[in-house]
Amino acid sequence: MNNSLEKFIRHERERKEILLMAHLVLGYPSLESNFKTVAALVSAGVELIELQFPHSEPMADGPVIAQANQISLSRGISIDNCFRFAEEVTSKYPSTKFLAMTYLNIVFKRTFESFCKEAVSAGLSGLIVADLTIETSSDLETHCKNQGLS
């Protein structure tokens, strides 16, 4: 176990029975609203926050999250916006762990190596790829491990 997210979870689990994790679709309803929501979640004691990078076809999500993705994209939210948002909240709330949630073609388009480097540079601790395939999982896992990303 050399991963900081795993260490964090194990340490926190020694102190308390359960951890709280929340999910936001970035840009829905707005990034300004997302900042306020993160502040409220952190003050409420949420330890892990999943930041969903919006996708045009979020097939692993239900209709409400899918609609939030569509609205976010229609308002011009980009992957670069998402990384900047992540960098701001990880800097402001260093005791909270933030993870990126996205889809394979977003990661693939930037290249696995580049996406993982950007995620770590933005302060993210982990990556969830909802539609990751068996064929691509070991390659992405290698890049994540190389960057210290769960």
Q: Which residues are catalytic?
A: 50, 61
Token duo for residue 23: 């999910």
- C-alpha 2/C-alpha 4 separation (Å) is 7
Cα 31 versus chain centre, distance? 14
Q: Return the half-sphere exposure (C-beta side, CA atoms, 13 A cut-off) of residue 37.
A: 17
**Composition of the chain by helix, strand, coil, percent to 5:** 55, 15, 30
Measuring CA to CA, how many Å separate 132 from each of 34, 102, 108, 128? Answer: 26, 10, 10, 9
DSSP bridge partners of 127: 100
